[in-house]
Amino acid sequence: MSELGRWPIKCNISVQWGDLDALNHVNHTKFLTWMETARMHYFVACGFDELHKSEGIGPILAGLQADYLLPVGFPDTVTVYTTVTSIGNSSFEMSYRITSEASGGELVATGTVSGVVFDYGAGKSTPMPDSLRQRIHDLEDSD
């Protein structure tokens, strides 16, 4: 199988005025929302959303970490990159890099999430289907 961690998905997101907090920079929770948006784009691209719709098997978040490196203001556009870095039997890890156009493309935040493949009908984790595992590897191989 292919190597993971190749950053195949990126999303450009415009900073909104309402994203700012009282200190006039983007509130820390918005970074998590941006990572979530990129994660959903990844899930659509690899077919995780199709699997959820057809079989009731989908991702569930088990853990989250974010590291804030530089403040982001308004106006700005951030780019969120995401990748799957590892796949276990029923778990997976994803990483995020967020850059800022206003800062010349500097890295402003990083993050990681731990996810679990979850059978929503049974209410418990389930092994990742081989077809999904292959589609993730295929996505990671794409340019």
Q: What does the DSSP assignment read for 17-55?
A: GGGB-TTSSB-HHHHHHHHHHHHHHHHHHHTHHHHHHHH
d(CA 117, CA 124): 9
* pLDDT confidence bin for 1, thresholds 50/70/90: low
* pLDDT confidence bin for 142, thresholds 50/70/90: confident
3 located within any domain: no
2 located within any domain: no
User: pLDDT digit string (tens) for 49-66?
Assistant: 999 999 999 999 999 999
119 located within any domain: yes
48 located within any domain: yes
**Which CATH number covers residue 116?**
3.10.129.10
67 located within any domain: yes
How many domains does one find in the chain? Answer: 1
The structure's pTM equals 0.94
CA angle 85, 101, 44 (to 5 degrees): 40
- 9 has pLDDT over 70: yes
Residue 25 near residue 109, CB atoms below 8 Å: no
Q: Which range marks the domain in which residue 60 is found?
A: 9-141
User: pLDDT digit string (tens) for 99-140?
Assistant: 999 999 999 999 999 999 999 999 999 999 999 999 999 999
DSSP-based three-state secondary structure for 60:
strand
| Structure tokens given for 56 | 């009731």
Q: What does the DSSP assignment read for 87-120?
A: E-SSEEEEEEEEEETTTTSEEEEEEEEEEEEEET
User: pLDDT digit string (tens) for 20-45?
Assistant: 999 999 999 999 999 999 999 999 99
CA dihedral sign of residues 48, 88, 30, 6: negative
110 located within any domain: yes
